[in-house]
Structure 1
Amino acid sequence: MQILPELLQNDSVLKIEGKQELVLYWNGKLVLSNRALAKLINGYKKVGDTCKLSELLLKIQKELCSLRGSDLCSDVIDTCIHLGWLETAHDLLDDMDAAVAPMGLTTFMSLLEAYYRGNMFQEAKALLKQMRKAGLLPNLSDEMVVSKCQPILDISATCTNVSSSTSDLANALVQEMRDEQKEIPSVVYQFNSSINFFCKAKMMDDALKTYRRMQEMKIQPTEQTLTYMLYGYSTMGMFRTITILWGDIKRNMESGNLMVSRDIYEYLLLNFLRGVYFERVMEVIDFMKEHGMYTDKCLYRSEFVKLHNNLYRNLKASEARTEAQRKRLKYVEAFKKWAGVD
């Protein structure tokens, strides 16, 4: 497709490969529309890769390649807050700080109010500490900020209203997710429904047969499919079988047929930890690191201490009887070092 900007009318809508409203001609240049931004945000959020999303948003903002211009990053964060994606919003804030492109007080206060509205006091406390470190709260105590944020900081509009730009992007994101659901063939829902039934009934042989039938019919399992299977195996303590399912997940991700969220990774990590599959534990941790996903070390450290505190405590690598034992010890030590277990 060849585009000749000089022949375009102002505020033209271009049709790119059959997808309308992805690129607009606005103020003399081609820019991304809300729909295009929604696709990008939704895609990166699904895989939990906020780091790459932040990098991309900063590049787009720098080049003024969106309708939002220099307000793009703050608008995206506000949209995440509006949709209840508070963890994603906080991750983006952190990424912007790390990239020396910090957000202003208004964006921080929007997230702070959302935390308190959702009774997420630990997160709010951490954000207040972050704001103070950034010099956004000079001469104000935490109590003053929390109890008198509107009169002191004059941000009532931010705390109570949603800007039209944020609302437009939020609507585009909601529509994108709805359209994505419509694109999933009904047969997938039928298979997922059957797998869910079998997993809840602890009929894992039937669930596995249904899952394998999907593969034989070249029907791509969704994240929901995998969630049901993981839940079924986990409730029955079938940790070894989960390692096999993890192999399927990796192959599908490597082929580009599947994107999984942080929830799946966390569920896998906890199950491998409980099943004493520490090589797989470290493998999942590495995958999460590669995708810039947050890992709650405190949670996994607590789980380890509860279940395996004395595991190989007095065994040194030189004392291991077999190569397999040495290998297991290696990954246990790697996990303990990562999680900060004494």
Structure 2
Amino acid sequence: MKLNLHAIRLPLRDPFTISRGTIIHQDSLVVALEHDGITGFGEVTANDYYGHTISAMSEALDGLSADDLAMCFEATPENNWHRLSERLAGDMFSLSALDMASHDWHARNSGATLWHHWGLTWNPELQSSFTIGIDSVQEMRRKLDADSGWDLYKIKLGTDHDLEIIHQLRQCTEATFRVDANCAWSAQQTIDYSKELRHLGVQFIEQPLPRSADPADKQRVFEESSLPIIADEDCQTEADLETCFQFFHGINVKLCKCGGLTPARKMLTEAKHREKLTMVGCMVESAVGISGAAQLAPLLDFADLDGANLIADSPTRGVEVQCGRLHMPASLGTGAELVPTALPQFLIQ
């Protein structure tokens, strides 16, 4: 029974900018949970915005007792989640990686892919978007041209010329756009922009207002926007669902924020029950994290699982997203793997 932690630094293909800042690499923690000759993998990335560092998450996971680890194998991830949440003092980021690894281990142990282990039916029609980060219009056009062939693009916005960006990018492709303002707009901006964006082939707007915005503004946007509004920063854990159902047309669930696959499944199932749009997103992360999140495809209306496509190189393999299509490896669990020979050059010393 082992818990191995691999802190890795992933180089990006291009600098990646959203309304809050720019990164040129992504630090990530890959969790390997091993027992009876079977290894389950999970991943979580460092995140300055939410205050999670590789060192702090490593320390939290290293602090688990032998009994805590034993329960990862003796109990189902669903039955063990609250216990682990208490042991990790509510650290959803660390918990998400361990929960993913536990689900992966149990599915491999049962001889099935994870989605099949859950009793779900695969959705072959689901496609992921490809993200174009904020940059000069010329550079954003170059990035779009460099990854042509996708049917869906998520365009990061939050500049003083957002509509111009969409007008310019629309000249490059007939693909469907989704826009993500990452909390950068006001209520009036959102309502005004939504009308023009709809005519420019935009499918929905993700998180236009800050999480801290006045509820009256959120209600107004919900009622008056010409496009569906999808919650991201507002949708962190199960506790946020009722607020999201009131002010948004759908939710974007991120595993690291909610605490892993266990709560993510519950959140998505409840959203579908409430007739809300469902989506799973990702951070810039390796194939380990993407492979875990991809298991939720049967529950989704939308997917944003291009995180590994934004990376130049990685010591991992698993689910591949090619021009939006999810290609599952012929292996058990989530399909994620570490490549031992490649790992040393990515390790954070």
Same fold (TM over 0.5): no
Greater strand content? 2
TM category (shorter chain) comes to under 0.3
More helix by share: 1
TM-score (normalizing by structure 2): 0.25
Larger RCO, structures 1/2 (Cα 8 Å, 6+ apart): 2
Q: TM-score, normalised by structure 1?
A: 0.26
Q: Which has the larger radius of gyration?
A: 1
